[in-house]
Structure 1
């Protein structure tokens, strides 16, 4: 995105009349050709629109980058060392070194874009151009973007100092205390309500916000606000770190009717669902397993109708060669000359149900002997596992694997009449880029274009990142219904999501239904930056984010009387054995400390603003 420079500039030039006695006015016009005066931006509709477009730049590549938030959770493990990932996963985060969270998420970075939104809001309140309809649209966009960046601060750091004016040089003070959690929620909701009203009925371009996006973000913010972590009495009962914090008003509600907060979250989510025409989730019975795989694949790739799921997204264009188009390279198998970055861990794989809706169980001999058969359709659309049919390999490597199958195990082959060990092409013992192999035995399929013409090593794809999508709003509605005791309504909508991917209805109730809902949210929204926040706000991070990462060892041995000169996945030729193992603690040694419920405010920000108070569990 192009960002128009909107800072007003001042040029001072001294010219002696005796040196240049006959200078023309044009000659001394020193207005730079590559900048625009701040006041001129807001007098010109096109420049004003360009300035508001610049506010979106704070979104970066969305969740598509070499490092993904999934690797801070029980979804994935980051393959490469030294990137700040383990600072988070090993609970070593501190004010001097927060660790890696997201390339766009930094306290100062969020505030720089909040300031850009404030500049736009100030100038659009009484627009200097005559197109009021455009002014309303731009105001709606600016308010949404301010709300979005504030919501980022809120869900990572807790309450923040509300800045709703554009500070200038020469202010009496720049020290601002944190507002309360409740004040921050109210500020964000007010902006989103204003945005929804201003954008109502407007036909917005893809990639720009819209009325339903404002409503969907409101539903998310209210859902988070009602959750355990942000109800201080509930959170304090579960965590001594929180109960001993002297400023609980920064991390949640200290008083009030929690059920009314759940009702507000329910109503906000239902409002999003009511705007939709009902065609996205109107099923009354499961589709076939094959159709379920196709449905989920289309949703994650945003094609063949799946694009209708998107409410607000970051789009990418091949020609711009942005990192957001490199997911295949960043996460794909080393045997395809890719980098294996955010590899799925066994904890996630095991949480995909069987096709009949029962849990997968390693103690079940039938499951353990064929762990990749008869699983939830979303497993096949999300995970590349040993034997997955994938793209053709490069011309140099096709002779080793003419079928294009994932090889993440160790197998026997016959070479010159002798049985030898063959290391799969997608392992860390591969003859192809062994340093880029997954430690877990899995690779990400979700969000990766399966088109064989998209060669991940050197081609950029155009799959959008879903900041907000329809099914998240439905899941938010289901959760609020559960908290309000409306189990039948919750089951109806939860089952509609399951029917779309060919899964049978859930009939559970009580705590069992809550657990089924949480697992459904886990697999439906995998790799979409929800798990990190969900497990924290539910306060189950110790048993989820704190669990050791694990993977799978696979060995294929010849069946009696069988041989093969070139390996391919074939259960008629090979007996396969599967062994789950914990990742070497020298590579990653996960643990959980309750301070990690909130990120620390960086030491530099604390030094800049003497009124800031640090989050629970940290000292400056």
Structure 2
């Protein structure tokens, strides 16, 4: 909204200035700008405008800090997060500005509104192209509104560009239900206009519109947005003066879940997506790991899982997504380990037989990285993990190219010397940017062994929506509707692809298993932050301190080593789990952060805005 005010204020000021000038000046066209009439009269210029709207897409995990760092999944290496410490307020947004800033979203919405208005009656002679571009803009408007909706609850819905004829820039928030209906309407329009259209990679499609619709409707049916349910679970929501801004105050929840189920099934019925989701039994662990890598890299068949992606090129120096290796490689490779997986997350990976990992089990505790879900090995860099060859300054110290997250003994077991792993905060390579948790991210990292220099970028796309999410949406709706057998069929398709056995639970146990399965499969894809809120499980999961692993490797009696390498023949390893500590972070949950605060500046600019409860 503030973007709209600023733009129109500048226009009014410019108009006032120009009145005092002579007519010759008024007739002069700027040499470095294209007029609005020229843009919408030329197909190529209109295309360029539409393409520019896509620049509002987030980098997601491929940014320097993953949104998962504001959940129990991860820790941001370079500072506390106000959201995880429940310190956000209208005057202290924390990282809100970096994730879902109000003005930035409305700037993109305004651009989409301008495009839709001008493409309604195109001035260039190609109605088919105009309809396709209009479909893209309906999708993008729905996309940006949904980003705001799942962050703040109900927001002002503006469906036409502000003009000089409308000087009142104050507008109230629409109800949550009105927002859902408006977004669904946009996505239905997009799906209709994009049906059968062939688009280049990274552009909205019919499938993307229908997939986003399924996300919107699954959220809408969830506990957080069913106000009678939410009030029973949260005193903050119960005290809200405008609960209709946060969810449905009445209505048929079964009907909402039915709409969510049908929306997901519509995507499935397109038969355009579904990477290896036709299996009836688990693949091998090795194949499961590779299947998962292919899916998140969008390669080797994994492209069939990607519905809507943001792409990068190495030549683009300003794209944070292409800098992902530097941002997240371990410090022993000169990376920053910006987003660090926590022990809380690692403990959620099941054993290969589908049972829970348990530190109280001696076999598990003595070898915590053995015999785990194949997605663990594809997602996490842990002590002893085989990774890329080191950079020249580390290759002589670690010729094996293995991750070193512990403190080890070298020399003779009779007179050992302490050695700090290259990927610890005591690394001899770099000691200022090592992981605090004992883990680093592997997921989304290009495995090309030549991509180890911190100045080399990668071209792995950022997943905005993938088909597997739609399958989870479908299964979640089926569970809510009591159709558990069909739900498990689809959940197990995902598990079989990863090499994991079928789940058999029912009732509340099935819900818990489903929620963990989604977190593991969709890790670092900006799902967890919203899921724990809409499921209202956040008080139990997000208030816990981030846990870390302490690893010690002691030489076995009679052993001598000159260069450290992970080896159970030479070493006895011990693992100790502990809280990170309040000196680094002090995580806690407060129900006000089910919804994030609207900034005080926006409230001051627009006296019709109602602040979220608890702020």
- Fold match (TM-score > 0.5): yes
| 8 A Cα contact 1:355 1:374, kept in partner | yes
Alignment of structure 1 residues 125-524 onto 2, 5 Å: 125-169=120-164, 171-277=166-272, 280=275, 281-321=277-317, 322-414=319-411, 418-524=415-521
Q: 2:4 maps to which residue?
A: none
Q: Give the conservation status (yes or no) of the 8 Å contact 1:143–1:194.
A: yes
DSSP 3-state at the match of 2:209: helix
Question: How many residue pairs were aligned?
Answer: 603
Q: Encode CA deviations 1:476-503: one digit per residue, 9 max, x unaligned.
A: 1000000000000001000000000110
**Other structure's SS at 1:448 match:** coil
Q: What displacement does 1:400 show?
A: 0.5
1:547 is aligned to 2:544: yes
Cα pair 1:286 1:498 within 8 Å, conserved: yes
SS of 1:245's equivalent in the other structure is coil
Q: Which moved more, 1:442-451 or 1:7-16?
A: 7-16
Shift in Å, 1:63:
3.8
Number of the residue aligned with 1:20: none
* Counterpart-to-counterpart distance in 2, 1:395 and 1:530: 38
- The whole-number CA distance in structure 1 between the counterparts of 2:167 and 2:573 is 72
Note closer, same or farther for the CA distance 1:500–1:416 as it changes in structure 2 (3 Å cut): closer
Distance 1:238 1:416 in 2: 57
Offset of 1:276 from its aligned partner? Answer: 2.1
Q: In 2, distance between residues paired with 1:255 and 1:13?
A: 54
* Change beyond 3 A, Cα 1:565–1:170: same
Note the alpha carbon deviations across 1:418-442, whole angstroms, 9 max, x for none. 4111111100111121110100000
For 2:273 and 2:310, locate their aligned partners in 1 and report how far apart those are by CA, in whole Å. 24
Shift of 1:168: 2.1
Name the SS of the counterpart of 1:88 in structure 2: coil
Report if aligned partners of 1:326, 1:456 keep a CA contact under 8 Å in 2: no
**What does residue 36 of structure 2 align with?**
38
Q: Which blocks of at least 5 consecutive residues in structure 2 are unaligned?
A: 1-6
The answer to whether the 8 Å contact 2:412/2:558 transfers is: no
Structure 1 position 54 matched with structure 2 position 52: yes
Counterpart of 2:560? 563
- 1:174-221 CA-to-partner distances (Å, cap 9, x unmatched) read 110111110000000000000000000001110111000000000000
Correspondence 1:610 to 2:600? no
Deviation at 1:415, TM superposition (A): 7.5
CA distance in 1, matches of 2:193, 2:336: 44
Deviation of 1:308 (Å): 1.3
Q: Per the alignment, in what secondary structure is the counterpart of residue 416 of structure 2? A: strand
1:326-360 CA distance string (max 9 Å, x none): 11111111111110111000011000000001010
CA RMSD of aligned residues (A): 2.0
Superposed CA offset, 1:265-301 (max 9, x none):
0000011111125753100011000000100011111
| Contact 2:274/2:468 (8 A) holds in 1 | no
**Kept after mapping to 2: 8 A contact 1:390/1:406:** yes
Q: CA deviation at 1:33?
A: 2.3
Preserved contact between residue 545 and residue 587 of structure 2 (Cα < 8 Å):
yes
SS at match of 1:413: strand
Change beyond 3 A, Cα 1:58–1:417: same
Q: Does structure 1 conserve the Cα–Cα contact (< 8 Å) formed by 2:274 and 2:305? A: no
2:581 equivalent to 1:587: no
With normalisation by structure 1, the TM-score equals: 0.94
Q: Distance in 1 between matches of 2:163 and 2:468?
A: 42
What secondary structure sits across from 1:419 in the alignment?
Answer: strand
Q: 1:400 to 1:176 in 2, by over 3 A?
A: same
User: Taking structure 2 as the reference length, what is the TM-score of the superposition?
Assistant: 0.95
Q: 541-550 or 371-380: which moved more?
A: 541-550
State the 1:611 CA deviation: 0.4
User: In the superposition, relative to structure 1, how do residues 15 and 581 fare at CA in structure 2: closer, same or farther (>3 Å)?
Assistant: closer
Q: State how far apart, in whole Å, the 2-side matches of 1:282 and 1:151 are.
A: 31
The structure-2 alpha-carbon separation of the partners of 1:514 and 1:416, relative to structure 1 and needing over 3 Å to count, comes to closer
Q: Distance in 2 between matches of 1:386 and 1:348?
A: 15
